[in-house]
Each structure stands twice: as structure tokens, then as C-alpha cells.
Chain A
Amino acid sequence: MKKPNISANQLLWLLALFFGLPFIALLVQLFTPEAAIWQHLSDTVLPTYLKQSILLLAAVTLGTLFIGVSTAWLIATYQFPGHRYFQWLLILPMAMPSYIVAYAYTWWLDVSGPVQSMLRELNGWSFGDYYFPNIRSFGGAVLVLSLVLYPYVYLLARASFQQQSRRLFEAHQLSGGKHNTFFYRIALPLARPAIFGGVALVMMETLADYGTVQYFGVNTLTTGILKTWFGLSSLGGAAQIASILLVMVILIMTTEKIFRGQSQFDVAGNTANKPLYQPLSTSKKWLASLWCLMIVTSGFILPVLLLALMSFKSTINDWWDEFFLVTVDTLWVAALAAAVTLCIALFLMFIKRHNDKHSIDRLIKTLSLGYAIPGLVIAVGVTIAFGWLDQSYNWVKLKYSDAPATLLFSGGFMALITAYVIRFLAVAMQPIDAAYQGIKTNLDEASILTGHKNSKTFYLIHLPLIKSSLWTAMLLVFVDLLKELPATLVLRPFNFNTLAVKAYELASDERLADAAIPALSIVAAGLIPVLLLNQRINKTHDNNPKT
């Protein structure tokens, strides 16, 4: 049933305008630079920011590629001790916000941490007697980001490897190909689009990272934005840097799209066939296990253990009340923002269902691009845009009354929640879209024939059938919100803290042991959607292609 709903479409355009305003603001700033600031930035720090960002991007890309593809290939092709468990254990680092992993490793490896203390005690050294690599460095940032972000590559590469038909391997063997050339000559080229999709996600996350690079003292574009904004008190300058970051993200997205468009291989083959694992010698089996164990340990198990150890040393007993308050604040803001995001996502998907206009489809797709944009960029855009809105609001208000100017838009939670919605709308849209596609249009038609309107059909048919997906969407957004750091940091109202911000503040105050407690809470919550996600991927790719 295709029937354009005019008033709903108008509402959609209005929403799009509202959420597009921050980006319009950034564009305006980009083309009307404050000359002095721009000159200063480009003469001094900007080249460093840009260089560090690009170097970090390259290093993390290589790191995640190596870890992600190697583990995915091992899991998809061979069976080795612990194979069943590694399959999902390897995803768990996704639950860890990178800045939290950074805190854990710093606590462990720093001069005053357990490792160096033990070394000194065992060998009778004192500080300065020995060389120990500093974790709070560029290298440390690469290591931590690679360990946390590789699951994006792993997941997509694994799915692609597992979908490749075994017939391909047999054909390769029959044409005289050697066992060890199959990976380079066939499997890897076929999985390339999927792997590149994962890499694109890694790149966006790397560019968006603020917590890790800031803590490790790496001067990237994101740290540059905050330094310019609050250090130099120049929002205009921050907007300039944010625009550069935005351009980089758009470049990555476009490249990914072009790349994927050119090479869409149909590797699915017969998805019903069971994976036939290739043989592996006993010693190599153990090597495979060891490699996977190493990755899981350093990306997840060790940081969690360290956080647990740290929390024993914390002074939490002195600030239980505050922790409790922060937790409550975090939960209600995350719940509110998740609910708003969900409602908007649902509205968009409802429009999409009843629309056959290309422009509307495009618009909805565009609205879902926010997931790729760094939180800090969104925050800068929202701040400028809401500044404009407040100015115009107060200008109008002044004409009618003498009341003092108020910050209607940028004062309270509105800016924060708007930024959250822009960033996480796609996360909510995806499961709802999938659920909607599962409802045949016949059902709508059957309902409409009995005289029900679209809205009534939504209430009677769609809503009950997509209910569980709505919960999934809500949960996914909720957990992402708990983890979000940079946008919350700059947009939160005065004196308002979330667990992520609290952990960040405590870590910045060198109270790492105390930071472990909010950090652990975030990790615990973050595990839920990762496990959900794994369950769904297992269902569709591994055992049960029909569901």
C-alpha cells in the first residue's frame, strides 16, 4: 500500500531541517573563517593535529586489519582448542570503551603501577635505572584502539569467510591450487568488500575517539577541537577543526561506498552447507588457540580483571552517595534520550513504509548518517546552531516583553539530547527497519481492506509485530549512550555528570582506582548488546540460515 501522507512528510522535512542545522552551522563557519584564529591555527598546531590524526588512522587500520582478519580466518577455516568459545569471546572487546581500556593499562603499566613496582622490587632497581615503554604515548593509543576496535573487522570478515562456498575451495584444489594460496588468491579478494566495510567503521571510530588520545597525550583533531574551544575560547576555531574532521569522515564514507559498489561479489553460494573445517596439525592448532587467547585477553579479560583489581583499591566508600546519584542521572538521561531516539526512528520507518518517493527514501538514509560523525563534531555544530536559535528566540522575545534573555535551546538538556539523537538514530533505525521488512505488505493490505486507516493499521498490526525489535533498538541506543563521552562532556548542563564523564574526570584527576568503578559499570552494561548481536549473527550466518 503506497499512499503519500502529506502532513507526515512535512513533519519529516522539518525534522531533517532541525537535525541538519548543526551541519549547516559547521558549513557556515567553514566558509566564513575568523581570519586571525584560522591563521594562528594553521601556523601552529593544526599541522600537528592533522598529522597525528592521519598517522593514528593508518596505524589503527593496520592493527585492526591484522588482528581482525587473522582471527576471522582462523575461526572460519580451522578447528582448534577453544574454537567454540573464541568465536564469541573475540567479539567482547567491543563492549569496552577504549578510554576505559586505556585507564586500566595505564594503572597497570605506569611507573607506580603493579608491573613496574614488582620489577623494581625483584631487581632492586629504582626509578630511572631501567627502560620501560610508556603506555601513555602514541604507540599506546594505537595498541589500545586496535585491541578494542578490531571486532568490527573480525565480525564482517568472519561472516564473509563463512559464507564462501566450500565448492570454491574444492574448485581451487581441483585446478591444482595449493592449500596455502587459497587465502590470498580467493578467500581474501572475495572478502575484501566486507573487510573494507569493517575498516571504514574502525576509521570512523578512531577519528571520533577523544577519551583515549586525550588521556595518552596524543594531539589529534578531536583533542584540538577541545583545546581550541576551551583553551583558546574560540568556538569558531573549534568549528574549523571540526569541519576538517567532518570532511575526512565524508571522504572515508565515499571511498567505502565506491569500493563496495564496484566489487559486490555473490559469495553466498549455498549458505545451507555446513562449514567444513580444514585440517591443521596439532602444534599449529595450539598456536591458533594461543593467538586468539592473546587477543581476547589483552582486549577484554585483562582490562576487566585490572578494573576489578583497581576497584578494590578505590576510595568508593567515601563517595558512594555521589556514585549513586551519578548512576541515577546517567540512567534517566540515557533512558530519555533512547526513548526520543526510538520515537523518531519509528516515525521515520513508518514514513518509509508508506512512501514510494525516492526523495523521502534518500532523506531518511541521510538522517541515518549521523552514526559516522564524531560526537565532538556534532557537539560543536549543535552548540553553534542552538546559539543561533537562542539569539533569534531572544530577539523575538525582546519585541514582546522586557524579560531577560534565556538560553531556551542551549541551556538545558535539549542540546545534549539532540546530539545524542543525531549520533545514534541509525542504531535505533536498523533493528526497526529489519523488523518492518519482515512484515509483508499483504498484512497492511488485508487490514486496509477491512476499512482501517494507516494509523490504525500501525497500532493494530505493526506495533505488536515489531515490539521486540523496539526493545532491542532501545537497549542498543541506551548502552551506546552510557558509553558516550566527548559530546556529553561538552554539552551536559552545568553540574550534571554521567558515569562516562565521571570516569573521565576521575582519571584526569589521577584517581584511576576510583575511575574503575563507573568504568566497570559501563562495561557490564555494554556486554548486553554485544552478546545480543553475537546471538543474531550466529543465527543468520552459522547454524540456522533460515531465521
Chain B
Amino acid sequence: MTTTLKLNSLNFAFGQQSVLNNISLSVKTGQIGCLLGPSGCGKSTLLRLIAGFEQPQSGEIHIVNQMVAGTNLTIPPQNREVGMLFQDLALFPHLTVSQNIAFGLHQLNKTEQKHRVNELLSLCRLEGFQARYPHQLSGGQSQRVALARAMAPKPKLILLDEPFSSVETGLQNDLVHEVKSMLQADQSTALWVTHSLEEAFGIADQMGVMLDGKLLQWSLPNELYDKPAHPDVIHFLKNANLVSGTINSLGEIETHLGNFKLNNDANFKVNEQAQVGLNKRIFHISKNKKPNASVTKVVYQGGQYILSLKLFEGDIIECYVPNSIHIGSNVCVDVDEVTELTGFPIS
């Protein structure tokens, strides 16, 4: 499988303010890469660098084996063959649906243009709407037109900048899968930026978490859960509890909830303080055992309760339970057996 997009140690700053810090990643041809991060983490800026609207201070951008930005080299956006789905869609208000889609097809002759537009109208389920203007479309339809316009010239890469931020919450899930299947049907390669976990896991072949201009991890989606590379990834995904402890001579971390084998124990010295991420699902409350935590918060959430517990030894954890427990009561919390855990130094 060839690589469509490759970023090498990109750095970017607005004046003194560093926005992107040493970003490297790659997206394989035909796949969808997804950058997950809160607003303001620099992910939209990264897309603008790849499109060519901003120049990196250092680092390289390669699109299909061609360097488009690097030391002393910049290829203008016009010549990068990159398509973009803008956050606010940026449909041309004075052009009809088919004129919008055909906008980037100036290299083709009239017949070819018409053929490609029809192809996209049917792929994006827009037949019958070709003569409408953007203001006559619903939110989802506008979305599909914007996608069709971005895909029309068959760009080497499509960039999607929070494409669903303007769509009502209820519709987002359906749209995510719809857009994914459209991109796949056209064999497009895409880099998708979002702050929504659901959206990201719904579409990504490759995925990363970005915080404060740093890409903390770039891997397969399930590895983000199973092998988080940084405690902040855990904080952001909110799927696990960070529990602290001490490394023993067996390469285990000894916590107040038990001892766990680490897959990176070589990185730690014996008796060093460390922490480990434990999936919230493996926690449960054991009755008739000596209490080790007190309940600080109970939140009901569709069929189950989310319990916040303060361990007597200090860590604060969350777990799911079927029945409510009074705030302030003392309970015993246990964890299931787990393997393949990664330890982190205490920052």
C-alpha cells in the first residue's frame, strides 16, 4: 500500500506563539486518517498547512511522493491537488449544485464534466437537486454538495475540517457513515479533523490525538484505547482511570488496587513512582469486603450509574455500576485481571 500523505517534524508558529510542535504522521492511500483534539489544539491549522494556505517554519509535507512544502520549497495551493471540506462548507452561493460540483473540473471538457458531475450527484444522493442553489438545501444536503465538490477533481487528498460541526447532533451519526462510504466508494484518501470521539472512531482507519499543538499518538483506533502512549490521551478519551503506584523488582506496578505487569517495565527503575491507565470497565464494587474508597459523586446515565470514588490512598477514579450508591458511603472497589498495560512516569 502506498502512502499518500507524509508529514515530517512540522513546526509552525503565529509570531511568537507556537501552534504546531514537531508533527509527524502518514496516511496510506485509500484510507481515512483522523485527528482528534479539542478546539484550539492546532488541528485546523495543520490542515491549512497541508493545503498550502500557511507555510511551516520547519519540517516537510509530502503528498504522493512529492514534497509540497519543506526547506526553501513551497508549492502553491493551486498545484497541490488537494480538496477541502470547510467547516462552514463554503459553498458558492451564486452557483447551483451542479455548478458548485463542476467548479474544479475546468481541466475536463464539457462532456467529461457532465459525466463526472452526474457520477457524484448519484454517489452523494443529490439527483434532482442539481439546479438548486445552496440556500435552498437542507444542512445534510449542503454537506453532501460540499463533499461532492471536494471530491470532483479526484484530488490526491481530501481534507475535512470539522465537517459536521454545523449539523444537528442527532444527524451526525448517520452522516458520518454516509460520508465515509462516499469517500470509500470514490477511493479517496482523506485527513479528517474533529473534536468528537464518536465521529472519529466511526470513520478512522488511522487516528491520532492532538493537544496543545502536539500529536500525542498516531496509531490504529483500537490502539488508542488499548495502548495509550501518553496519560493525556487517557485524559482526553476518558476511557480509563489513572492509578499511581510503585515499580517492584518483578517489573510490576504495585498499586492499592493490586499489582499489574507492565509491558514497558524496562523504562522504570525499581521503587520508582509511576502510573498506569486502567479501563473503567474493569472496575466493580465488591460487597462485604473491607472498604478502600468513598463515593464522591453519582451520575445517572442511561441504564447505569457513573460513580466517582476517592481511594483512601488518594487517586480519584470512575466506574460504572448498575445501582445507585449513597454519596459519602464507603465501598470496596476491585479490578479484573488485565495484561499488556503501559506505565507512565508521574509528571
What is the chain A residue whose CB lies nearest that of B83?
Answer: A449
Q: Which of B81, B104, B149 has the most CB of A within 10 A?
A: B104
Residues of B within 8 A of A460 (CB): 103
Q: In the complex, how many angstroms separate the beta carbon of B56 from the nearest chain A beta carbon?
A: 16
The range of chain A's interface size is 10 to 19
Q: 1/0 per position for B70-84, CB-CB distance to A under 8 A?
A: 000000111111111
In the complex the two chains form, what is the Cα distance from A32 to B123 in whole Å? 76
Asked if B93 is at the interface (CB within 8 A of a chain A CB), the reply is yes
Residues from chain A with a CB closer than 8 A to the CB of B287 are none
- Total inter-chain residue pairs, C-beta < 8 Å: 55
Is B94 within 8 A of A464, CB to CB? yes
Is B300's beta carbon under 8 Å from chain A? no
Q: What residues of chain B lie closer than 8 Å to A446, measured between beta carbons?
A: 84, 86, 90, 92, 103, 149
In contact, B78 and A445 (Cβ under 8 angstroms): no
Chain A residue nearest to B153 (CB atoms) is: A450
- Answer whether A450 and B104 are a contact pair too, CB < 8 Å, given A1-B53, A445-B53: yes
Q: For the complex, is B106 an interface residue (Cβ under 8 Å from A)?
A: yes
**Most B CB within 10 A of own CB, among A3, A451, A452, A464:** A451
With a CB–CB cut-off of 8 A, which chain A residues contact B51? 445, 449
Q: How far is the CA of A226 from the CA of B51 in the complex (A)?
A: 60
A449 with B77, Cβ < 8 A, contacts A442-B88, A461-B92 known? yes
- The verdict on A465 contacting chain B, using a C-beta distance below 8 Å, is yes
Assess the B93–A465 pair: CB atoms within 8 A.
yes
- Nearest-Cβ distance from residue B111 to partner chain A, whole angstroms: 19
B153: A residues at CB distance < 8 A: 450-451
Residue contact A453 to B84, C-beta cutoff 8 Å: no
Q: How far is the CB of B342 from chain A (nearest CB, A)?
A: 40
* Chain A residues within an 8 Å CB radius of B81: 451
In the complex formed, the residue of B with least CB distance to A464 is: B94
A312 to chain B, nearest CB (A): 49
B88 to A450, Cβ gap below 8 A?
Answer: no
Whether the Cβ atoms of A442 and B90 lie closer than 8 Å is yes
Query: How long is the Cα–Cα vector from A3 to B54 in the complex, in angstroms?
Result: 10
Convert A1-26 into 0s and 1s, putting 1 for each residue whose CB lies closer than 8 angstroms to a CB of B: 10100000000000000000000000
Q: Does A447 contact B (CB under 8 A)?
A: yes
- Contact between A450 and B53, CB atoms less than 8 A apart: no
A435 to chain B, nearest CB (A): 12
Take A440-B90, A442-B90, A450-B153 as given contacts and tell me if A1 and B106 are in contact as well, using a CB distance cutoff of 8 Å: no
Q: Mark B147-164, 1 if CB is under 8 A from A, else 0.
A: 001000101000000000
Interface size on B, residues (CB 8 A): 24
Contact A451 B84 (CB under 8 A): no
Provide the bound-state CA to CA distance between A451 and B154, in Å: 12
CB distance from B152 to the nearest CB of A (A): 8
Decide if B53 touches A443 in the complex (CB within 8 Å). Answer: no
- B244-293 contacts to A, CB under 8 A, are none
- Whether, in the assembled complex, A533 has its beta carbon less than 8 Å from a beta carbon of chain B, the answer is no
Chain A stretch 451-488: residues in CB contact (< 8 A) with chain B? 451-453, 460-461, 464-465
Question: Which residue of A448, A451, A461 is within 8 Å of B106 (Cβ)?
Answer: A451
Contacts of A451 in B (CB 8 A): 78-79, 81, 104, 106-107, 153
B90 touches A448 (CB 8 A): no
Shortest Cβ distance from A450 into B: residue: B104
Distance, CA A440 to CA B86, complexed state (A)? 11
Q: Are B149 and A452 touching (Cβ within 8 A)?
A: no
| Min C-beta distance of B26 to chain A, whole Å | 21
Contacts of B53 in A (CB 8 A): 1, 445
Q: Min CB distance, B109 to chain A, in Å?
A: 16
Q: A1-B53, A442-B88 are in contact. Are A449 and B82 (CB under 8 A)?
A: yes
Question: How far, in whole Å, are A448 and B86 apart by their CA atoms in the complex?
Answer: 13
Against A, the Cβ 8 Å flags (1 = close, 0 = not) of B122-162 are 00000000000000000000000000010001010000000
Task: Please give, as numbers and ranges, the residues of chain A lying within 8 Å of B86 by CB-CB distance.
Answer: 442, 445-446
Are B92 and A443 interface neighbours, CB within 8 A? yes
Q: How far is the CB of A358 from chain B (nearest CB, A)?
A: 14
Task: Pick the 8 closest A-B CB pairs, nearest first.
Answer: A450-B104, A442-B90, A464-B94, A446-B90, A442-B86, A451-B78, A448-B77, A443-B90
Q: Mind listing 28 A-B residue pairs with CB under 8 Å?
A: A1-B53, A1-B77, A3-B76, A440-B88, A440-B90, A442-B86, A442-B90, A445-B53, A445-B77, A445-B84, A446-B90, A448-B77, A448-B78, A449-B77, A449-B84, A450-B83, A450-B103, A450-B104, A450-B106, A450-B153, A451-B153, A452-B78, A452-B106, A453-B78, A460-B103, A461-B92, A465-B93, A465-B94
Enumerate chain B interface residues (CB-CB to A < 8 A): 51, 53, 76-84, 86, 88, 90, 92-94, 103-104, 106-107, 149, 153, 155
Excluding A446-B90, A447-B92, A449-B77, 7 further A-B contacts by CB distance (< 8 Å) are: A443-B92, A445-B86, A449-B78, A450-B106, A451-B79, A460-B103, A465-B94
Interface residues of A (CB under 8 A from B): 1, 3, 440, 442-443, 445-453, 460-461, 464-465
